[in-house]
Amino acid sequence: MPRGRAVLALKAGREKSVAHRHPWIFSGAIERVDGTPGPGETVAVHAHGGEFLALAALMFVEARPISSENDLPWPPRAVGHRLPALDPPTPDLSGPDQVEWAPVVQASPDRLGLDGADIPDFATLYDRLDLLRVNYKTIHGGPDFNDMAVILADPRTPMARLHSVLQAALKAEYHKPLFTFTKAEVIQRPILGRLQRMNASGVRVKLAYADGKNAYGDAAEEDDDDEKEAALWKDAVPLRPGDFATYDPFARRLVDLRAAGTRVVVRIDRPRR
C-alpha cells in the first residue's frame, strides 16, 4: 500500500467497478476521504475492509455551498456540477460549451497524460482511450457513447504535438473532443472566509480526416449515423492544426467561432502507416 497518500475509502460492495477497471469512481461510491487531497492529487483507493485497490487521480470535485454564504450559483450553472483540476494550466479563455464527464487528456510541451496518469507516447494514448471506450460500451450497454474526450492543453503546446493527440483520439473514435479551459476563482465569504474554487468551460468540435474519408479510408459520409447529424455539421468552419504554431492561437480561434454560434470541424491528417 502506498505510504503518505490520502486515502479514498469506498462503501461496501463498491470495489467491483475498480476491479473491472471502470475509469471513474463517483462520489456516491465513496464512504470517506482520509486526509485533505487537492485537485489533481493522487490518492490511494481502499475497499470497505481496508485493503488497497488502486491509485487514482482526483480530477473532479463536487461541492455544495451554504446558500447564505454565497449569492453565486455553485458551481456556475454554465459548467455543470463537476470541475476539472488545473493541470496543466490552460489558455485564459472562457468557452460557450458545457463541460461533461469524459476521459481527460492532458497535453503540454513535455508531458502527455490521461486522467492524471503519465502516458509515454501517442500509441499508448490511443490504446488507453480505445480501452476506455470499449469498457464504457461493455459496462453501460444501452447508452450511446458520446464520442467525447476532454482536452486540457498548455497554451505553449506545439500544434504538431497536439495534432498527434487528436490523431490518437480520432483513431480511438472520440470524434467530438471538448477543448476545456479552467480558471481559479477566489471568493471571500462573510462567515466561512476565503474560498478558492475552479470554473471550467469548453469548446466542442468535431474531428474529421482531412482527406474527407472515414476511419476505414472509404469515401463515405464522415462517420455520421444519420442525415440529421450530418446536417448539423454541414456548414461547419474547417480548421487545420497545421495553420497554427502553438495551442494558444488555435484555442482563441475556436472560442471566437463557437461564441458566434459557429460549429467547427478540425481536419486531421491521417496517420502514416
Query: Residue 17's domain spans which residues?
Result: 7-58
Residue 65 lies inside a defined structural domain of this protein: no
Q: How many domains does the structure of the chain reveal?
A: 2
CA distance 61 to 72: 17
Give me Rg for the CA atoms of the chain: 20
Residue 142 lies inside a defined structural domain of this protein: yes
**What confidence tens digit (pLDDT) does each residue in 162-171 have?**
999 999 999 9
Residues in contact with 265: Cβ distance below 8 Å, sequence separation at least 6, in sequence order: 205, 206, 207, 208, 233, 236, 237, 238, 239
Distance of CA 104 to CAs 1, 21, 101, 125, 250, Å?
A: 26, 16, 9, 11, 19
Residue 261 phi/psi, 5° resolution? 85, 15
Q: Pull the grid cell for residue 213.
A: 474519408
Provide the mean pLDDT of the chain: 79
Nearest-5° Cα angle at 257, 255 to 260? 105
Alpha helices in the chain (DSSP H): 16-19, 122-140, 159-171, 227-232, 247-259
Its pTM surpasses 0.75: no
Residue 183 lies inside a defined structural domain of this protein: yes
**What confidence tens digit (pLDDT) does each residue in 12-43 have?**
888 877 777 666 777 667 888 888 777 667 88
In Å, the largest CA–CA distance within the chain is: 63
pLDDT at 240 over 90: yes
Task: Give the per-residue pLDDT at 58.
Answer: 67
Q: Which CATH number does the domain housing residue 38 bear?
A: 2.30.130.10
Residue 64 lies inside a defined structural domain of this protein: no
Residue 168 lies inside a defined structural domain of this protein: yes
Residue 66 lies inside a defined structural domain of this protein: no
Sign of the CA dihedral 107, 111, 112, 116?
negative
| Residue pair 76/140 in contact by the 8 Å Cβ criterion | no
